[in-house]
Chain A
Amino acid sequence: MKLYEFEGKSLFRKAGIPTPDGITVRNGDQEMSGLDKLCFPLAVKSQVLRGGRGKAGGIKFAETREDLMSCVNELFAMDIGGEKVTKILIEEKLSIDSEFYAGITFDPKALTPLLIISDQGGVDIEQVAASDPDKVIQYHIDPIDPPKFFDLMNLVLETGVTGKKMVQISRVLVGLVNCFFKFNAITAEINPLIIATNGNAIAADAKFDIDDSALYRLPEINSFHRGKEDIQDPLEQAATDAGVSYVSLGNGNIGLIAGGAGVGMATMDMVFEYGGEPVNFLDLGGSATPKKTADALKIVLSTPGVEGIFINVFGGINNCEEMAQGISDVIDELNPVQQITVKMRGHSQDEGWAILEAKNIPLIKFGTTEEGVKLLLDEMEKKGVKSRVNTH
């Protein structure tokens, strides 16, 4: 779960990391409570979960109250990379001495958290790493023995920063390491970490990606209110609620349901390979009861543009009979016009096959995923539906 900047900054403050004084305004708010406690000039920052906010013009500065009103109105009218701006963070503008970078993320190679710091803050750290690798200091964190204040001071000294600044930055790093572990982050980043002209270190931005699997034990994160306006894709949300994993793929007409992420991706690849255009990816996951299977099928049936659906599942951790029952229930309930084909084998396969055969669903028992994809495309064409739209 990605956090908004204002949410991330509230976690920073709990961990003792200073942030600028500010208030959050939501679209439709009648007043900006707390505004009179802030001193102009102000930074007016759109709150979006996607990157590229600065380049898209999502951050503005206001010298006066009139300025502020026009900035707020302009930002609420914007969308950034397709994401509508519904919240704005208004903060006191900082007087900057220098900008630092600090971030912790998971290193997919070493399979351990990686702390990255640099005295070249405020820009894309990947660009700094590419153009000026000496300016990027990396430190692999041992999850059972995280770095302490003195370790972090030694690290900051490597950047060439000394004195009070070095101590200030190291204190912030202690807080960042604590945040990473306490809030079960996959990524926690401060860019830029500002050294103000008075010598204080202040987190000017906050980027968090929190592990979805740990949300059950994170009351601080669950207290962040997420409303309708925060839902990016209603079908992805419906899938999350149903306990399945769904990704919208675009404008195709082939709906997909797979048992397992790997089979799901391979099926998607093969639909493209044979000239079809998948509209979604869906991984049913484990514990596929009849209801869960039915919910997944209903979500795909309701995906705009779907004219055919390929269900490619195994009775491994799941059971063929239960999944087939879910499919059969949807057919009884909705009598869908879309062509459905199924490939299914594994635990309780005979029982599952019998249920599907009773509904006259074209079935692959012993064939490959490739054969299953071709069967769906052929069945759709028999019905006069164009299924092979890509020629390559």
Chain B
Amino acid sequence: MSILINKDTRVIIQGITGKQGQYHASKMLEYNVKVVGGVSPGKAGNNVFGIPVFDTVAQAKKHTRVDATMILVPPAGALMAALEAYASKIPLVIVITEHIPFHDAMIIRRMGIKENIRVLGPNTIGVISPGESKIGVMPGFIYSKGKVGIISRSGTLTHEIASNMTYKGIGQSSCVCVGGDMCKNLNFIDILKLFRNDDQTESVVMIGEIGGAGEEIAAQYIKEYGYPKKVIAYIAGSRAPEEKKMGHAGAIISNGIGTAKSKLDTLEDAGVIVARRMDEIMANLL
């Protein structure tokens, strides 16, 4: 069994009628994802590639069972889209949108915790359980089904490492991108806990980067409670200058906090296998 999503997961897309929404809806249908609806205010009654469009999340939920929602709306509308999903108690909310105002992201996080809803992101490519389902914007064909779980802050590094694994015949159970922003909901530690109890997953690859403390917190968890599966970690940005935002809002070394060295040392101390280059991840999986 994969984590977070599987072939039975029924998903809606908030922002389905936009250019991005339509494109990724079609890609998810190609991947045989159960896309059961889309939300776009004022567009109820239309359809996108046969997917019915509703005005609100509540209307969509009235019409059909919804297990998850993918939010693909512009940054200014993302907070309201998330709160709308929370109000309808959608149990898994995946916020793809990048460049959401930081104060909105804090409220998305805080309200998600308060309403006890699993929120992935913001600024994520989503999650894929290869061969089962994908809720996100990743190209499905570079991923393949197998036994390695991936947790990453970076979308394209997830593509890179998963595709390199696929070409070498190593498949993945689920690949979860926790997102590139400073303030996010599900983090390394939460996904590690899910992989811990997942029978399909035999080893876990953590792809971190400079900034924040999610990797250190995960390392502390592994050290404190032990972890029954092999964990391999890679951290991007070991040569990044300090006080510079490296593409992701959360990828910044500030006042000496969040260096690659601090993360690698903490992970190594917790017994995690540390890869200094990405191809060393592969070497440790073969």
Name A's B-contacting residues (CB within 8 A). Answer: 106, 108-109, 111-113, 126, 142-144, 181, 184, 186, 211, 213-214, 216-217, 245, 247, 249, 258-266, 268-270, 272-273, 281, 283, 285-286, 313-317, 345-347, 366, 368-370
Contact = CB atoms under 8 A, between A and B. Distances in A.
Contact of A186 (B102, B142, B153, B159): B102
Contacts of B239: 268-269, 272
A2 B239 CA distance: 24
Contacts of B212: 108
A370 B167 CA distance: 15
Nearest to B157: A262
B155 A370 contact: no
B106 interface: yes
B106 A285 contact: no
A96 to B, nearest CB: 27
Given A259-B156, A345-B163, A265 B209 contact: yes
Contacts of A368: 160, 164, 278-279
Identify which of A261, A263, A270 gathers the most chain B CB atoms within 10 Å of its CB: A261
A111 B247 contact: no
Nearest to A214: B101
A258 B245 contact: no
A42 B125 CA distance: 54
Nearest to A209: B254
Given A265-B210, A369-B160, 7 more contacts: A211-B101, A261-B209, A262-B153, A262-B156, A266-B160, A266-B237, A273-B276
B258 interface: yes
Interface string B245-286: 111110100110110000000000000000011110000000
Given A262-B236, A265-B210, A273 B277 contact: yes
B247 A245 contact: yes
Contacts of B160: 263, 266, 314, 368-369
Contact of A316 (B153, B156, B167, B279): B156
Interface stretch (B41-49, B180-188, B195-203): B180-188
B125 A317 contact: yes
B152 interface: yes
B139 A346 contact: yes
17 contacts: A108-B254, A211-B102, A213-B99, A260-B156, A261-B154, A261-B180, A261-B246, A261-B248, A262-B207, A266-B160, A266-B234, A266-B236, A269-B236, A283-B248, A314-B159, A317-B155, A369-B160
A338 B81 CA distance: 46
B155 A262 contact: yes
Given A108-B212, A346-B142, A262 B258 contact: no
Contacts of A273: 276-277
A269 B238 contact: yes
Interface residues of B, number: 68
B246 A264 contact: yes
Interface string B115-145: 0000000000100000000000111001000
Contacts of A247: 240-241, 244-246
A212 to B, nearest CB: 8
Contacts of B75: 213
Contacts of A249: 241
Nearest to B103: A184
A149 B12 CA distance: 43
A317 B153 CA distance: 15
5 closest Cβ pairs, A-B complex: A262-B154, A261-B247, A260-B156, A283-B247, A262-B157
A273 B156 CA distance: 20
A272 B260 CA distance: 15
Contacts of B159: 260, 263, 314, 316, 345-346
